[in-house]
DNA sequence: TATCGGATCGGGAACGTTCCCGGAAACAAG
DNA sequence: CTTGTTTCCGGGAACGTTCCCGATCCGATA
């Protein structure tokens, strides 16, 4: 089938040991011989058999990225950044989508695994592989040195600080009751921290928790918030898809966005800028996070210390779905009118 | 490190040949011996080393899905369907994102490759691997038995037929000038075929070609179409993202959707139902296509004929962005009013 | 001239698996 | 008792690579 080192040795009239010396860049070989073997290997497009190298425990330069939700744009960005770093360091990155598959693949010589958003049980399965692993999201709050944080708490606080600067004081929060997802309490914590820092009291009735990340749930949650005796002036949804539901709820109640009710999301999905009005949200630099995660993984494999410095933090994607109610006298006047509108 | 068949043989006091007979389900072994070896293997969680199996040319049950645009929802759906079939047939499916990576990985014992939307040069690289391959999209019009069609021509014709049924006769088409993308001429062909079947003459001025699949290009193309002396009553965009640009163009011109101008897309992206009004578009059953593609690939690997029957065809996602101008007298009356509105 | 050290190369084992072939029983038929 | 057949199991090679050890040659030194 394919050309082997034995074939190269035969063609050049040497032993496979010598051929291996030439191809591996060893020093104990004459320069003329090395050139002859290298030329022969190049002309036959020789590539060492990876499986044979795995068998003798040689370096395979194989890494795996584990993540289940392909189709997620964030995953794709993460992959792009990780792939770039892996390529630059000479590694090959393959992506696998289930942990039992990883289990069957551990004999293929994969040197390390990067995980993107795995649930705790799957992460445990990966740990059993006894392979270096770095994963993105902080799963358990108690210290996990193998994790790289995506900074959701910071991102949520960033957005809420922005809302406070825009004059909002009654900030509704659309949360999700997914026990597995560590992002939920992290975002809530960011929300609470930002309020506390500004001296704004936390009101539990302004936090509504829905079941799923769907447009419908966002709609229902927003209806609840808007029917409060004292409705919020802005709704901060934990994800853009929830925010789209809030858009529909506002439209149904005859509320203009952002004049009557401001809405903000999280994720900066591709459709966030397409909505009308364009949604203000938070973008996580997943590509840079992927690059950083891969740098950590490769450093661990090669027994080097982790790169210094922290990965990039989320940034605000400021658009037109949040109103400034600070120095706008007419909005100030309209504010009491919101209540009767919502009933 | 891991448990090997030699260890199992030592533990049960037999040779590795006998152990292999028990584990491979051979017939020339006593039942008591087989049970003893099987129990030992199970208790030690034995799994044969894949690399060693590759080396001796044994079956690896390894398949690869090649596709570059992760993050594409359609790719994820395709993967889901393919993965399900592969699992059911006992295969392991890994996904790789570049053809030179595949080149390095060919020694890992991958038995077949399924390709999703590769460009022609990359597909050629995969062909050089001399591995069974089935790919989704029809790249070159002249027969390609290794391809499974995604039915874009049928899907486009389906949508245009629907528009004709709704009474539309001046159907604008928003195309894209991407020479690599075979979808573009296929959709145009579907558009033209449907017109011809209905006896509606094809008017080149109603087909506008833009440069990229972006909202901005969709906007610009729609502006061109709407500023024609005789503007279309409906715009069929080659993708949903172009349709969102058409939405903006219509809004800017003060045209109501669908009362003044109907708009339809292609792809049924996640945001299609979130737009206002919800976008009528065409959904391709990528999950079923992935399953069918994988069935073809496995059949080819196992030297069986391809599964009979054709894969599922695209379906219409009927929403509210297309008006019925047939039996609506007031719309009939309004029809001449469109022209002065657009100027 | 005998010895030594460095440079250069070949031989062979090892990794874990599969496969082929031969051997040793056990048993039936002549 | 011999011969042939079946059942069951072990020995050893092969896959392609890497690594260790030893062999050869050559020039230099004592």
Residues shown for chain A: 343
Give the distance, in angstroms, between residue A26 CA and nucleotide C1 C1'. Answer: 36
H and E: helices and strands count for chain B: 14, 10
What is residue B101's predicted lDDT score, i.e. its pLDDT?
A: 66
Put simply, whether A278 touches B (Cβ < 8 Å) is no
Contacts (Cβ under 8 Å, ≥6 apart) of A300: A112, A132, A134, A306
Query: Is B72 in Cβ contact with A49 (below 8 Å)?
Result: no
Q: A211 to each of A215, A295, A298, A335, B80, how far by Cα in Å?
A: 11, 36, 38, 31, 24
Query: Is B72 in Cβ contact with A107 (below 8 Å)?
Result: no
Is-contact A266 A240, C-beta < 8 A?
yes
Average pLDDT for residues A327-337, to the nearest whole number? 47
What is residue B276's predicted lDDT score, i.e. its pLDDT?
A: 86
Cross-strand partners of B135:
B115, B147
Is-contact B265 B242, C-beta < 8 A?
yes
Strand D contact at CB of residue A53, distance < 7 A: yes
The dihedral of CA A166, A168, A169, A172: what is its sign? negative
What is residue A342's predicted lDDT score, i.e. its pLDDT?
A: 29
Q: Report residue B94's pLDDT band, with 50, 70 and 90 as the boundaries.
A: confident
Is pLDDT of B225 > 70?
A: yes
Query: Is A270 in Cβ contact with B274 (below 8 Å)?
Result: no
Put simply, whether B79 touches A (Cβ < 8 Å) is yes
- Report pLDDT digits (tens) over A274-289: 888 999 999 999 999 9
Most confident option among A94-103, A148-157, A208-217, B56-65: A208-217
Give the distance, in angstroms, between residue B3 CA and nucleotide C26 C1'. Answer: 35
What is residue A116's predicted lDDT score, i.e. its pLDDT?
A: 84
- Report pLDDT digits (tens) over B248-285: 999 999 999 999 999 999 999 989 998 889 999 999 99
- Report pLDDT digits (tens) over B310-320: 778 999 999 99
Is pLDDT of B135 > 80?
A: no
* pTM exceeds 0.85, yes or no: no
Put simply, whether A196 touches B (Cβ < 8 Å) is no
The more confidently predicted of residues A145 and B341 is A145
The more confidently predicted of residues A342 and B239 is B239
Nearest neighbour of A105 by CB, restricted to B54, B70, B92: B92
Q: For residue A94, which residues of chain B lie inside 8 Å, CB to CB?
A: 94-96, 101, 105
Nearest neighbour of B274 by CB, restricted to A74, A97, A271: A271
Residue pointed to by tokens 């539309």: B168
Name the residue of chain B whose CA is nearest to A47's CA: B104
- Going by C-alpha positions, the residue among A120, A75, A128 that lies closest to residue A100 is A128
Average pLDDT for residues A56-64, to the nearest whole number? 91
Q: For residue A109, which residues of chain B lie inside 8 Å, CB to CB?
A: 51
Average pLDDT for residues B165-187, to the nearest whole number? 91
- Report pLDDT digits (tens) over A107-125: 888 999 898 876 667 777 7
Is pLDDT of A320 > 70?
A: yes
Put simply, whether B71 touches A (Cβ < 8 Å) is yes
Q: For residue B215, which residues of chain A lie inside 8 Å, CB to CB?
A: 273-274
Put simply, whether B95 touches A (Cβ < 8 Å) is yes
Strand D contact at CB of residue B274, distance < 7 A: no
- Report pLDDT digits (tens) over A148-207: 788 899 999 999 999 999 999 999 999 999 887 778 999 999 999 999 999 999 999 999
DSSP A298: H
């Amino acid at each position: 089938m394919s050309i082997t080192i034995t074939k190269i040795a035969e063609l050049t009239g040497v032993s496979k040991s010598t051929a291996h010396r030439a191809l591996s860049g060893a020093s104990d070989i004459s320069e003329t011989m090395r050139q002859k073997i290298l030329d022969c290997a190049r002309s036959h497009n020789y590539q060492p058999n990876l499986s044979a190298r795995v068998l003798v425990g040689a370096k395979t330069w194989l890494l795996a990225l584990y993540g289940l939700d392909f189709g997620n744009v964030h995953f794709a960005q993460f992959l792009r950044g990780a792939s770039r770093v892996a390529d630059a360091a000479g590694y090959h990155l393959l992506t696998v989508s289930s942990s039992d598959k990883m289990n069957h693949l551990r004999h293929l010589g994969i040197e390390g695994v990067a995980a993107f958003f795995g649930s705790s049980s799957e992460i445990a399965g990966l740990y059993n592989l006894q392979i270096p692993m770095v994963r993105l999201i902080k799963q358990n709050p108690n210290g996990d040195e193998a994790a790289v944080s995506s900074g959701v708490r910071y991102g949520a606080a960033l957005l809420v600080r922005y809302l406070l600067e825009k004059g909002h004081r009654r900030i509704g929060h659309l949360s999700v009751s997914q026990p597995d997802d560590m992002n939920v309490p992290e975002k809530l914590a960011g929300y609470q921290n930002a309020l506390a820092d500004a001296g704004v009291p936390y009101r539990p009735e302004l936090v509504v928790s829905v079941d799923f990340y769907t447009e419908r749930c966002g709609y229902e949650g927003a209806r609840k918030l808007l029917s409060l005796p004292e409705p919020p002036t802005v709704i901060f949804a934990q994800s853009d898809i929830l925010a789209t539901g809030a858009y529909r709820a506002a439209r149904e109640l005859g509320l203009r966005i952002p004049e009557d009710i401001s809405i903000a999301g999280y994720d900066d999905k591709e459709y966030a800028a397409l909505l009308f009005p364009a949604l203000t949200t938070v973008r996580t630099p997943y590509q840079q996070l992927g690059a950083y995660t891969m740098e950590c993984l490769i450093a661990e494999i090669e027994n080097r210390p982790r790169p210094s410095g922290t990965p990039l933090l989320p940034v605000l994607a400021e658009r037109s779905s949040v109103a400034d109610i600070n120095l706008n006298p007419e909005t100030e006047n309209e504010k009491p009118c919101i209540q009767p509108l919502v009933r």
